[in-house]
Amino acid sequence: MDGSNQTSLLMDFILLGLSAHPKLEKTLFVLILLMYLVILLGNGILILVTILDSRLHTPMYFFLGNLSFLDICYTTSSVPLILDSFLTPRKTISFSACFGQMFLSFAMGATECVLLGMMAFDRYVAICNPLRYPVVMNKVACRPMAVGSWTAGITNSVIQTLQAVRLPFCGDNVINHFTCEILAVLKLACADISINVISMVVANVIFLGVPVLFIFVSYVFIIATILRIPSGEGRKKAFSTCSAHLTVVVIFYGTILFMYGKPKSKDPLGADKQDLADKLTSLFYGVVTPMLNPIIYSLRNKDVKAAVRNLVSQKHLTE
């Protein structure tokens, strides 16, 4: 039986999600829906103010607008599917829709890793080479950096998704996840997936390892520069310009490290509890970080707060 015939036997996948915990599903539906609405509202407002307020037409806010748009795309690729699975007894998804959702989630995740690295470079130039900042981080440079981040993430997702979709799926069609997460899908393939695993390891090194190393080195230089500032007020002002980005980076990569770095339980009963914990961690990782990003940048940034107040006051004046 060739690969195409084997794949055709599986027209649908079943998303297991939290089928064993129906009461928890109802509670999570309300909670995740509220968080999703906050994500749309918060990131939507950030995008709006970075476009409308001329004071925010700087490289840092240009990248922030891209990050907000990315977070909306990332959550929209998975949250509606998750919410529907909480309400639908038969949690099925078609083969094409499954790989479409996988592609979008993978693309947005890889793009965010690269974009956070670009934002670290922006903060490095602003603090360590402030006199050269207008020259280095101009519009001519920023746009290709943003386009490059999106292109790299989408290209990686195309490669990973095409490698996965070509695999034969002829047996179990139950995905032990809320969404078509690539590792959960690969476990269902009835063929050797070593090429896929190697490809993902290489992608993780490029899109996780390299940006983390780049961000770490950038902040080593940033902190060293801040510590050399003679006045305490100057140090505080310099650190405030990068504290929001650093907080977002710690939450984003810290959650990834927690999800994939913690040891697995060998006890069957403990494994069931860990499976539930892993699913909940993955679920909240997909919505908490995008929800916190606009909150962090709004609470820790006077310019953004002023822009939001101006937007609200202008709305009241037009009414």
Count of C-beta atoms within a 10 Å radius of residue 33: 16
Q: What pTM, to 2 d.p., does this model score?
A: 0.86
Say if residue 304 is exposed, middle or buried (CB neighbours under 10 Å; 0-12, 13-18, 19+): buried
Residue 121 has pLDDT above 90, yes or no: yes
Distance of CA 141 to the CA centre of its chain: 24
Identify the pLDDT of residue 190: 86
Nearest to 146 by CA among 50, 35, 13: 50
List pLDDT tens digits, range 200-248.
999 999 998 999 999 999 999 999 999 998 888 888 888 888 888 898 8
Domain 13-261+271-308: what homologous superfamily? Answer: Rhodopsin 7-helix transmembrane proteins (1.20.1070.10)
Question: 191: phi > 0 → left, psi -120 to 50 → alpha, else beta; which?
Answer: beta
DSSP H helices, 189-267, are 194-204, 210-227, 232-261
Structure confidence by residue, pLDDT tens digits, 23-62: 888 888 999 999 999 999 999 999 999 998 888 888 989 9
H/E element, 12 = strand 12-15
User: What does the pLDDT look like over 46-104, one tens digit per residue?
Assistant: 999 999 888 888 898 999 999 999 999 999 998 998 888 888 776 788 888 899 999 99
**Measured CA distances, 41 to 30, 106, 302 (Å):** 17, 23, 19
Residue 118 neighbours by CB distance under 10 Å: 20
How distant, in Å, are the alpha carbons of 14, 70, 231, 239, 305 from that of 234? 56, 33, 5, 9, 21
Domains of the chain: which residue ranges? Answer: 13-261+271-308
